[in-house]
Amino acid sequence: MSPMDENRDFEDYGKESLKYGDKAAKLPNELIIPGLSSGKDPKKAKERAASSGYFVVVVADGYPNIYQSDSDEIAAANAGLHLWMPSSIDFLQTALRATGGNEENILKVASEKEFFEKLANFKGNIQRLMIIAHGTKGGIGFSGTEFEGSKSYLNIDVLNKKDNLDKVKKIKAKLLANSRIDLVACNSGADPNFSQAFKITFGVTVYGFNVPVNWILRWSVDKETKEKSIIPAEHRGLVFLVTNSKNKPIIYFDPKKMPFRKL
């Protein structure tokens, strides 16, 4: 989960190729997170969701940004691959892209306990559940540090834990016959045993990836110092995958449109 090499070609989802790096080409306007003033009536949309189920996003909230300043973070990103990793603030911006800027149905969790509790206590049915976190083969991390590993980990043992059974029943009761769970985490679909356990636990179709899920870090120029040292929130949260035959990363402005693989 790291930025790509400076000035490497990107193939944007449904758009022309572009560059990323210090001299990045302008990304399309969709980079700005849309608010709720899209012309649609939010009250009517909420009423429809209440009857057919909500789109809910769980965000791993226990990964602090370890850098002292934007300049330090940019320096780490510029130093090379795997020297920068996304933190919870990046995951949150990805979630906001998915929900169109609506924070109401974004659940921030820093432990597996919070994961089960917040979903069990969610008011309403869930049509689509997206989980955005760090991941490895066989599990999903909710807290820790990017380079020292996860402290709170959702794996097969946790899914089967007796202490969670009552909460699992409550969550399953909120899921519909056509509900789905999307795992937006590195290699979360690489272990068929884990994905199968997830599917059995919640009784719905699970989607994920067996390849790394990568985040992009972009920055702006400080008007006074002329240095590239500002990272606006709306510049975070862009996700890319390398899944095509050209071996070019594809940027996804809306994570719901990512090519999820049925697990």
Nearest CA to 146 out of 157, 133, 137, 163 is that of 133
Quick one: which H or E segment has residue 143? strand 139-145
| Residue 5: band (very low, low, confident or very high) from pLDDT cuts 50, 70, 90 | very low
Look over the chain and give the mean of its residue pLDDT values, rounded to a whole number: 76
Q: Are 134 and 127 in contact (CB under 8 A)?
A: no
Most confident of 13-17, 72-76, 93-97, 113-117: 113-117
Mean pLDDT of 16-45: 38
Confidence band of 17 (pLDDT split at 50, 70, 90): very low
pLDDT tens string 131-185: 999 988 888 999 987 555 567 779 899 998 999 999 999 999 999 999 999 999 8
Q: What is the pTM of this model?
A: 0.79
Q: For residue 130, is pLDDT > 60? A: yes
Tokens describing residue 58: 């769980």
Asked if residue 140 lies in contact with residue 191, where contact means CB atoms within 8 angstroms, the answer is no
In terms of DSSP bridges, do strands 261-262 and 205-208 run parallel, antiparallel, or are they unpaired? antiparallel
Q: What pLDDT sits at residue 247?
A: 67
Q: What is the pLDDT of residues 47-102, one digit of tens each?
A: 555 568 899 999 999 999 888 888 888 888 777 656 788 899 999 999 998 998 88
Q: Which residues of 57-71 are buried (b: 16+ CB within 10 A; e: fewer)?
A: bbbbbbbeeebeebb
Q: Do 211 and 156 form a contact (C-beta atoms < 8 A)? A: no
CA distances from 9 to 13, 25, 209, 251 (A): 13, 10, 22, 11
Residue 18 has pLDDT above 60, yes or no: no
